[in-house]
Structure 1
Amino acid sequence: MKPAHPLYSVLAWSAGCLAGVLAARFVPLPALADPLWLVVSAGGLLLSLWQQRRWLIALACVCGLLAGLCRGTAVRLPEITTSHYSGQTVTIHGRINGDPSANRSGGQTVQLAVATIQNQPAGGHIWLTTHTHARLQRGSHVVVRGKLSPGFGVFAGAMYRARIIQATAPQGDIFLPMRDWFAGRLFTWLPNDEAALAAGFLLGHKTALSNQLDEAMRTVGLTHIVVASGYNLTILVRLGRRLFARHSRKIALIAGLSLVAGFIAITGASPSMVRAGMVAALSMAAWFYGREVHPLTLLIVCAAASVLIQPRYIWGDLGWLLSFAAFGGVMFLAPLLQHYFYGQQRPQLIPQIMTETFSAQIFTLPITLYVFGSVSIVALIANLLVLPFIPLIMLLSAIGGLLGPLVMAPAHWLLSYVVMVVYQLASVPWATLELRLPISAIIGLYLGLGAMLWWLQRRTQFSWRSVNITR
């Protein structure tokens, strides 16, 4: 019997892991919360990879399911403890995840990773708003008090207008002071809107955006360029590869991976950055070893790895879902459209941006309609007018931020152009379309996208293995 390719076992284990974590959201099994089950699962996967028997692929899937249930249960049980305090006024100790953001009432909104409630061990994340003037930062440890309300989405609870009893500065995050120092220089030498955009491009520092600019960018479908996302990371990885590949593939690989790690450390490990970092790292490794990897393999393996790190992602984290949906569009639909219209010839910059933007928008559209009930009509135009300049803006802003205002002028001009485009397109009366669809229609839309992919692949005979996001 012909041996099974090891990749099939990895895919089966990854698929089982996704199913297990998802199942643990609804049916946590306390008996499987022991980390020893992860060791058992890894042993089963290694056995499948070693023997390479076809029937062992099923074993790999079961072992992945076991790993998912173990990891998901270990995270879900403390969340259930937190939810039991709903409706009570409690004191919570926890750590702030991500950057706090300003809300419309003039306060701050944070995502708090719970450590204890009423001095009892607990877990999960809560959505918290407060009107404190204390400086809250990513990684700050805080003690808060307020009434715990029922949670929503991936949050085990919510606390509105919480009172901050104590807040301590983050410890051990050496990149946060560097980020804040560089952002301060940008705001010193650029107007507020332009500086906020530059900080978003380079640092993933979206919280500095004014409410007006933030709303305008949502309207025109450009929010993805000012948050830590795969687009910004891809620009850095491609830059590193092109600068060093002509000298040494090994140096190019090291440079690319270093940029990935550094960018994630500076911006924070958001769901979209975790996904983008894993995809970029695996794609760089495949390029280095001269291997061609099917994008579906990247999608499943990266999804499984990310939910093992944080099971809440697959339980309904909107950023994670949108990130993977956009990745699916760029990696599956965009190459098919480019091959359909241009054949073997690589499209120029503008057609490439158009197909990639359209593909990402169409794959995230069902989720956007279901959650927000609206879609940007001008998103494609906005992306065509802005995206070609983002790499140059990032380069000029980085140089200007380091060297001073004398070399910041070119970045200032380009950033002002972006601000102008955003506000002009956002002022168009028909910029957005209000349309809310039921879940059955969302499923139908994704089935239709699957049918379109099948038809395009049959028509073009395109080879998926030629797709690599770092090229």
Structure 2
Amino acid sequence: MTDRQSVVVAGAVWLGAWWHVSVPLAVGVAGLVVALALRRPWLLAVAGLTLAAGLGTRAWAGLDPVAPAPFTGPVTLLSDPADTPFGVRVDVRVGDRRVELEASGAAAGAVTASLAGERLIVSGRLGPPPPHAPWLVPRHVVGRLRATSAERLDAGSAPWRAANRFRRLLGRGAEVLPRVERSLYGGFVLGDDRGQPPEVVDDFRGAGLTHVLVVSGQNLAFVLVLLGPLLQRSSLGVRWALTIAAIAAFGVVTRFEPSVLRASAMAALSVAAAWSGRPTGTLRLLALSVAGLLLVDPLLVHSVGFQLSVAASAGIAVLGPPIAAHLRGPAWWREAMSVTVAAQLGVAPVLVPRFGGLPVV
């Protein structure tokens, strides 16, 4: 499959996930099997659109709001708690559904001290989410839990315990830094942007540098570079296993942000392609990663963070080389400038309609 065909398939899957009309899943699955058997990329695009539409419809059906009711029981944190003017807020799992927990006063203490993956015993009242809250859709949030009391239950499963131990260790090491620098450190290293002052975020946004305030695919690349000496001494099979393990560990530590999901999928596909003896170009890796992620979670198509990550990566892959070819100067300068300009042009279709413009510096 060529780069262009891969992009068409990814675009079809994206359209189907966004469209989410009622299509029987059996039709999409059957079409996918036939397309793979016949090795027809255009048939694969149609099958991808159909399957993504059916999966998207099922995902939206799972967003029926919870009914108002009192609640007492265990919850699992799905993100790290964030302070609000009136207390603290965090996404949690209640049974098999996701809700947004809000706590204030005494109940906020145990919530604030917890991290993603840990479990609490909470008492409060469940209710539907606020109306017209599209930002809750990609998070699969179907309700709100107003907590009146909360206490720690346990530290969660082993991967989350290890990740949180690592995060707390790095957090203690950064306590010597001033408040602003400490908040930036949390964003750069761990993707934790909760303590970043609004004025600092605004300055970075004006300079077009908001992507450095949180983790991204670049951070994953740094991790893989650090592992490079070990990977080079390993066989291809061991290299693939170690890379996948590193990607999974990085995702748990950084909470599987949309940009991390995209970068992780691309890295995993790249290693798999090398392992099979068929190295693949960046654009094709991006297209296949996007298609795969949207088939796993069609609601991801509504995440602004995911849209920006995909758009920036596409801009770099498509526009970066020709821009670099037209620039003058040292190679390092041309490469840095071409990547920056290409990424800004790539995200323009997302940024301009949503936020009203692009940075001028």
Question: TM-score scaled by structure 2?
Answer: 0.78
Q: Which amino acid aligns with 2:110?
A: R
Do the aligned partners of residues 218 and 59 (structure 1) sit closer, same or farther apart at CA in structure 2, a change above 3 Å counting?
A: closer
Q: Could you tell me how far apart the structure 2 residues matched to 1:375 and 1:12 are? A: 27
The reply to whether residue 23 of structure 1 matches residue 19 of structure 2 is yes
Indicate the residue corresponding to 2:131 in structure 1.
Answer: 150
Aligned partner (choices 331, 340, 344) of residue 357 of structure 1: 340
Tell me the distance in 1 between the aligned counterparts of 2:267 and 2:69. 42
Residue 297 (structure 1) shift: 2.2
Cα 1:161–1:178, aligned 2, differ >3 Å: closer, same or farther?
closer
Could you say which residue in structure 2 is the equivalent of 1:180? Answer: 167
CA contact (8 A) 2:191 2:254 kept: yes
Q: Deviations over 1:27-60 (max 9, x none)?
A: 345xx36xxx3xx7556544443444x5xx4543
Question: Would the aligned equivalents of 1:204 and 1:226 in 2 still touch at CA under 8 Å?
Answer: yes
Q: What's 1:134 paired with?
A: 109
Partner of 1:424: none
**2:353 maps to amino acid:** Y
Alignment check: 8 A CA contact 1:186 1:198 kept: no
Q: Structure 1 residue 275: deviation in Å? A: 0.6
Report what 2:356 is aligned to: 373
Listed as ranges, the gaps of 5+ residues in structure 1 are 117-122, 379-471
**Given that residues 125 and 147 in structure 2 are in contact (C-alpha distance below 8 angstroms), is that contact kept between their aligned partners in structure 1?**
yes
- Aligned match of 1:110 in 74, 79, 90? 90
Asked if the contact 1:71/1:308 (under 8 Å) is kept, the reply is yes
Higher RCO (C-alpha under 8 Å, 6+ residues apart): 2
Q: Which moved more, 1:271-280 or 1:129-138?
A: 129-138
Distance 2:3 2:12 in 1: 14
| SS of match in other structure, 2:227 | helix
Instruction: Trace 1:203-222 onto structure 2 (pairs within 5 A).
Output: 203-222=190-209
Summarize the Cα distance change of 1:232–1:107 in structure 2 as closer, same or farther, 3 Å threshold.
same
Q: What is the distance in 1 between the residues matched to 2:89 and 2:335?
A: 37
RMSD: 3.6
**Deviation of 1:327 (Å):** 0.9
How big is the shift at 1:150?
0.6
**Which residue number corresponds to residue 235 of structure 1?**
222
Rate the CA distance shift 1:42–1:160 in 2: closer, same or farther, 3 A: closer
1:106–1:377 CA distance, 2 compared to 1 (3 A): farther
Instruction: Pick closer, same or farther for the CA change 1:159–1:338 going to 2, 3 Å.
Output: same
Q: Tell me, in whole angstroms, the C-alpha distance in 1 between the residues paired with 2:179 and 2:189.
A: 15
Matches of 1:290 and 1:238 in 2, distance apart? 21
Tell me, which stretches of 5 or more residues in structure 2 are unaligned? none
Tell me, in whole angstroms, the C-alpha distance in 1 between the residues paired with 2:104 and 2:354. Answer: 27
Q: CA deviation at 1:292?
A: 4.4
Identity of aligned pairs, percent?
A: 24
TM-score with structure 1 length normalisation?
A: 0.62
SS class of match (1:206): coil
Contact preservation (8 Å) 1:249, 1:288: no
Q: Contact 2:190–2:215 at 8 Å: present in 1 too?
A: yes
Change beyond 3 A, Cα 1:355–1:126: farther
Q: CA deviation at 1:68?
A: 1.7
Alpha-carbon distance, 1:326 to partner: 1.1
* 1:275 paired residue among 262, 273, 276: 262
Provide the residue aligned with 1:69 in structure 2: 53
**Do the aligned partners of 1:11 and 1:300 also contact (CA within 8 Å) in 2?**
yes
Cα distance in structure 1, aligned partners of 2:357 and 2:89: 24
Letter in 1 for 2:278: R
State the partner residue of 2:249. Answer: 262
Alpha-carbon deviations, 1:307-364, whole Å to 9, x = none?
22222111x211111111111112111122113336xx9x633332222122112221
How far 1:365 moved relative to its partner?
2.6
1:305 aligns with 2:302: no
Pick aligned residue for 1:202 from 189, 210, 227: 189
The letter of the residue matching 2:109 is A
